[in-house]
Structure 1
Amino acid sequence: MENVLKAQYERVRRFERKPFTQSIDYSFSSIIDRKRKWLKAHGRSFDISENGLGIYTDYPLEPGHIIWFNEGIEDKAGFVKYCIKSDNGYRVGVELDGKHVDIIDEATELFNKRLEEIEKKCQNKNENPQDILQAIEDAISEIRNAYIHFEEKVKDRNIIRDAQIRFREKTNHIISKSYFMNRARTWPQGYQGDYKMLEGMYRNTPLSQGLGYYLDLAFLRAPLTVAVRNRIEKLRTILKDELLIRNNPAVLNIACGSCREVFELSSEIESSSAKFTCIDLDNDALAFAANRLSYTNISPLSSKQVVLRKYNALRMFDHELNMKEFGKQDIIYSVGFFDYLETEFLIRILNSLYQLLNSGGILIAAFKDANRYIGPDYHWIVDWDGFLQRNEEEFRNILTMANIPDSAISENRDNSGLIVFYLIRK
């Protein structure tokens, strides 16, 4: 296969190559411990043309990916066209790119410079805090224009992904000063959108100092963060209304996280004699929820009304297994979790959950409407790309494919309009 790629590349070569021997330091992305990271490597060139470079290296570079040259090459990056195993390593053909990469690199350098200038202003007590915050949001807006333009021109998803990793690497020294942005880049719980991140977003309070304080503020003011706060409030209202009209309901909370809404509805849960089963795969999230609920009359330690259980929600596509593990339910809900599921799998899970409802039961599903927020911000400024970009038409198609009758579905939105709640009754 490698030889085929090389032959194809040779046939369309537009410029003559000349011998060129030079030490080459470059960077590229690779998956390590299930997370894509930025690595530095070394090689040696063997020929060059006006828009191409051949190098020997010890690392197998995947065709279609981008590598970035640290120095010695006028063009800052190139796209791997072929990679052939040889006796002493790998022979790699690179198509150089000077235009698009230069633009995003220059914009990144300007972004860093502006944030560094703003950081100096943070040390001046006479500076207006609102002016500092506005300057940060303006800097983010400018770099946003650059990376959106880059995506529109390049189009290749692998190249865009590598450029995003490179951007985060080059901006890490300053973005890491923000608790929220750094957490959304590093995933300390091992996954995106962990319970501590969401709790911080709900509390809406910066947790950093200096420049980091204002970066936190910018993160907390972003439309999607505001919508996440609205989402938990909307969910609480929906659940409260359902609990007030039901007696002894069985409630299943999927990917429960910190159980904030369960805590806030403790009185309604107690008076309705509801039994909540809250499942999550994160032991720390379950421990946090248990501690929070210990201050209520529905504590799992003293009451049978709430059960906290470690369980993998990805297993819930199987109706027979769901019946065995949980039995029929009156209320099933999840917020955030469904956004992370690939479409075919999501269809299966929604169908299975709908089957799990008792007659008169309700399935509450919340989604982020991609038409209402700027998705690339969460792929460049932070590394939060797990939630898929879907719109209302796609949500409706998914529900139809899950064999959920259209007559069973009503739609609600949070105050921002960004979060769509589907209330699905049986």
Structure 2
Amino acid sequence: MCHFDLFDDSLLDDVYRKLNDEMDNESHVRQTLDDLFAGLRERRLKSRDGEWDGFVYRCLRHPLKDVLHQDRFTYHAFNKPRGYSGDAELLDYIYGREEQWPVPETTPLGQRIFEYTTLAPAAEGVRARRGFVADLVDRLADEIHQPHILSIAAGHLREALLSAAVKRRRIGRYVALDSDSESLAEVNRCYSCYGVEAVAASIRQLLTQKVRLGLFDLVYSTGLFDYLPQRAAQRLTWALFQMLRPGGRLLLANFLPGIRDIGYMESYMAWQLVYRTRQEMLDVASYIDQSEIRDIRLFAEEGQNIIFLMVTKR
């Protein structure tokens, strides 16, 4: 394994100079950020944990930080206004690129960085994840009359915006569960007119079976497992599987290791995830009795940033 000089700031110095000198040239800004993402990823993947932590410390004390934080997406991720990583408001910056929502006000350079970071591979993976869930909901409504669906750690439930079945009231019951009251308020504001139920509950309550919501044809969680250690993920997977009707499906998603954005996310966004290999993703279902499983599938979205686990109950 290659080890880096913890005191080598040449990558940061070079990017800082280029962003300040060429801020009006969109293609140059994009190329400079390409170099930054690639350099940070290489450093992250080829250094020991302690070495990487030391380099992140230097990243956050370099003047480049203030330049990059002109991007409201990067700034929001780093500052965690809701008290935790990856909140629903942050994801709305990603979804907004598809929805043509207004770009947050900032400096011209900050807007160029925003355009880059919200179109980077990890963000593309998040949009693909959203689209896959919306398509799955629509297919389920074609297969089952008035299906029951449960979203765990639902956030703002933006997949519902893409679902024709939701808008046509072809879902018998759609429950959005989250512990964030602001997220649930947004779900109520946007989707209560379609019959979506917003439920306040914690993961601990789910694990201890203190929340009784009934049985569902689809239970999914697409952003939560990125933050759970393996044993908690296994316990939660088992608990969610118990909430399925016969023939019901459990869908889980997780980022794969080594994604292109990993160094930038863990440094300037302070956005640390629990990455899972394909084998580790299969292993989250290991607490489920195999005799109860009809089918288990593992697949990734096109960009190979996010992996899905689909488990179907007998």
TM over 0.5: yes
The two structures have a TM-score, normalised by structure 1, of: 0.65
Q: Summarize the alignment of residues 280-319 of structure 1 with structure 2, pairs less than 5 Å apart.
A: 280-293=178-191, 297-298=193-194, 305-318=195-208
1:408 maps to what in 2? 295
Taking the aligned partners of 1:374 and 1:122, their CA distance within structure 2 comes to: 21
1:106 equivalenced with 2:8 (yes/no)? yes
Q: Summarize the alignment of residues 192-211 of structure 1 with structure 2, pairs less than 5 Å apart.
A: 192-204=85-97, 207=104, 208-211=106-109
Evaluate the alpha carbon distance shift between residue 381 and residue 343 of structure 1 in structure 2; reply closer, same or farther with a 3 A threshold: same
Q: Summarize the alignment of residues 357-396 of structure 1 with structure 2, pairs less than 5 Å apart.
A: 357-373=244-260, 375-385=262-272, 387-396=273-282
Taking the aligned partners of 1:159 and 1:347, their CA distance within structure 2 comes to: 31
Give the CA deviation at 1:350.
0.6
Unaligned runs of 5+ residues in structure 2 are none
Contact 1:244 1:268 in 2 (8 A): no
2:59 is matched with which residue: 167, 192, 198?
167
Provide, for residues 181-214 of structure 1, a one-character-per-residue CA deviation record: whole Å limited to 9, x for no partner.
1112111111111111101111227534322122
Q: Give the letter for the 1:160 counterpart.
A: W
1:176 equivalenced with 2:69 (yes/no)? yes
Taking the aligned partners of 1:250 and 1:416, their CA distance within structure 2 comes to: 30
RCO higher in structure (CA 8 A, sep ≥6): 2
Provide, for residues 273-311 of structure 1, a one-character-per-residue CA deviation record: whole Å limited to 9, x for no partner.
4111111111111122222226xx41xxxxxx3211221
Provide, for residues 363-411 of structure 1, a one-character-per-residue CA deviation record: whole Å limited to 9, x for no partner.
11112222554533322232110x2121101111222244355642123
Taking the aligned partners of 1:192 and 1:380, their CA distance within structure 2 comes to: 13
Contact 2:152 2:220 in 1 (8 A): yes
Evaluate the alpha carbon distance shift between residue 370 and residue 147 of structure 1 in structure 2; reply closer, same or farther with a 3 A threshold: closer
1:350 equivalenced with 2:237 (yes/no)? yes
Unaligned runs of 5+ residues in structure 1 are 1-99, 299-304
Q: Give the letter for the 2:15 counterpart.
A: R
Give the CA deviation at 1:342.
0.8
Q: Give the letter for the 2:115 counterpart.
A: L
Evaluate the alpha carbon distance shift between residue 410 and residue 141 of structure 1 in structure 2; reply closer, same or farther with a 3 A threshold: closer
Contact 1:119 1:210 in 2 (8 A): no
Contact 1:235 1:261 in 2 (8 A): yes
1:137 is matched with which residue: 8, 21, 34?
34
Provide, for residues 19-65 of structure 1, a one-character-per-residue CA deviation record: whole Å limited to 9, x for no partner.
xxxxxxxxxxxxxxxxxxxxxxxxxxxxxxxxxxxxxxxxxxxxxxx
Taking the aligned partners of 1:176 and 1:135, their CA distance within structure 2 comes to: 16
1:277 maps to what in 2? 175
Q: Summarize the alignment of residues 171-250 of structure 1 with structure 2, pairs less than 5 Å apart.
A: 171-204=64-97, 207=104, 208-250=106-148
Evaluate the alpha carbon distance shift between residue 177 and residue 351 of structure 1 in structure 2; reply closer, same or farther with a 3 A threshold: same
2:19 maps to what in 1? 118
Q: Mark the structure with the bigger radius of gyration.
A: 1
Q: Number of paired residues?
A: 304
